[in-house]
Amino acid sequence: MGRTVVPGSKSHTIRALLLATLAEGKSTIHNPLPSADCLSTAAAVPLMGSRVDLNLTTEGVPGTDWEVYGAGKNLHLPTDVINVGNSGSLLYFLSPVAATFEGYSIFTGDESIRKRPVDHVADVLCQMGAIASTSQPGSRFCPLVIKGPVSAKNTVRTEGSVSSQYISGLMMAALRMKETLNIELSKPTETPYLTMTQKWLEKIGAKVHISEDFKKISVTPPAEIKAFDCTIPSDWEAVAFPLIAAAISDSDIFIDNIDGSGTQGDDAIVGILESIGADIEWNRDENVLHVRGGKKSKDGIGRLTTENLPGGELHVNLSGFPDAICALSAIACFTEGHIYIEDIGVCRRKETDRISVLKKELEKLGAKVEEGSDFMIIHGHSPVLADGKPNPDFKLHGAEVESYFDHRVAMSLACMGLGMRDGERIFVKNAECCSVSFPHFFDVMNEIGAGFEAN
């Protein structure tokens, strides 16, 4: 039996850093996520006038309380090119805010970011009066060059299907405008994250209205943004990995500091896993998940199967929480039945084309996977039959697999190794990329008995 706490939410941490930068006075962020993306944000916002104190230890490790001395009325155009590193959130959140200033701002990032589309960002900023484009003619990718300022005079019309992040960026940029910003979306996706942004903006005094279908959004800025103290909840995107690791192995673990606020759409993974037989208890009063897998589960077998679902299949629409594709694809390979992961076109535009990458790497491990433009079908098998005996149809085996420097791909493939039969090992190349969202992932997992080894 083991007990662990996953890091704070990346999505909440980055929003907190940006909004604290816009505020007047000192804000304190408790339990921030010290991941690469969040540290990129902490390095970027001072270019617009704030000061961030990470309270580093003598060893240079970020502390558990960060202080942001907001720029407030002295916020200004970035004084240098903003390199977002590997953070799509930072790119899509901060570029609309920078566009509210007179003058030029430039955004770039690492090799992965320079393959992420930004033409949709340029389009909405141009609708608002900016001159925005990629630096290379005919390219859809960073560097992104913006000449502001933008205004809220025009209603912004965009699909919203590429990502919710640039919509959240527009909502934050509205805090610097004199009028109400109106946004119309024809195909909104990742809607729980828009709700997360709404709650953050309301926390600092903005008036935000989002229609029930998420197709109409309006943001009215407050007269002044005041500093705040906040505690960052645990990251459900990180919770997913010890959760699936326990469910596919003979494990009995507790995960503490679980966020029950409903602001992270990825919490839906609990219900999904329970629907295929995972033994999970969520104590909402104590914010604890108790997960038992395999021989440690209540029935002593821990078999995952879709046989009790309608049509004997599991259909999961991930439009609201597409980052769960990696964890769900991994556990689907250990589940008896057919698992349909749907409405995931946006996953082709993440750190990697996650649909294509997952299919390729899962097939190296013996999985049977089908791929479509916006869906995956995984034909899985449980390692055991209903009576607990070995399942002859379970064909997963060890192999060397690629992470493609995608943190969620790396963690999902590593977790699969914990469910393999004795003697089968998975080697994940460039697995250190996990630090983007889950610092010290392998150390944390080993503390609850995972047995990961560096190679």
As a three-state string, the secondary structure of 221-272 is CCCCCECCEEECCECHHHHHHHHHHHHCCCCEEEEECCCCCCCCHHHHHHHH
C-alpha torsion sign, points 234, 238, 242, 244: positive
Instruction: Give yes or no for a contact between 217 and 167, defined as CB atoms under 8 angstroms apart.
Output: yes
Cα–Cα nearest to 91, from 168, 191, 188, 12: 168
Q: What is the mean pLDDT of residues 149-176?
A: 96
> What letter does residue 322 receive in the DSSP assignment?
G
**Of the candidates 389, 345, 337, which has an alpha carbon nearest to the alpha carbon of residue 368?**
337
Evaluated on CA atoms 111, 157, 167, 193, the torsion sign reads negative
Q: Provide the pLDDT confidence category of residue 26 given band limits of 50, 70 and 90.
A: very high
Q: What letter represents residue 245's amino acid?
A: A
Closest CA relative to residue 56, chosen from 45, 64, 47, 48: 64
pLDDT, tens digit, 9 for 90 and up, residues 269-324: 999 999 999 999 999 999 999 999 999 999 999 999 999 999 999 999 999 899 99
pLDDT of residue 264: 86
pTM of the full predicted structure? 0.85
Which tens digit of pLDDT belongs to each residue from 355-396?
999 999 999 999 999 999 999 999 999 999 999 999 999 999
When pLDDT is averaged across residues 151-180 and rounded to a whole number, the result is 95
307: CB partners within 8 A, 6+ apart: 336, 337
Q: Phi and psi at residue 277, in whole multiples of 5°?
A: 105, 5
* Residue 263 reports pLDDT greater than 90: no
Fill in the DSSP letter of residue 81. Answer: -
Torsion (CA) 446, 449, 450, 452 in degrees, nearest 10: 50
pLDDT at 455: 75
Nearest to 231 by CA among 212, 193, 259: 259
| 3 state SS for 12-79 | HHHHHHHHHHHCEEEEEEECCCCCHHHHHHHHHHHHHCCEEECCCCCCCCCCCEEEEEEEHHHCCCCC
Separation between Cα atoms, residue 264 and residue 249, nearest integer Å: 26
In whole angstroms, what is the distance from residue 20 CA to residue 36 CA? 19
Q: Distance between CA 320 and CA 353 in Å, rounded?
A: 18
Residue 404 confidence (pLDDT) above 90? yes
Exposed e or buried b per residue across 221-259, where buried means at least 16 C-beta atoms within 10 angstroms of its C-beta: beeebebbebebbbbbbbbbbbbbbbbbbebbbbbebbb
**Would you name the residues annotated as active-site residues?**
323
pLDDT tier at 227 (50, 70, 90 boundaries)? very high
Residue 1 clears pLDDT 80, i.e. is over it: no
Are the C-beta atoms of residues 290 and 279 closer than 8 Å to each other?
no
Rg (CA), the chain: 22
**Side-chain half-sphere exposure of 17, counting CA atoms within 13 A:** 32
pLDDT band at 248 (very low <50, low <70, confident <90, very high): very high
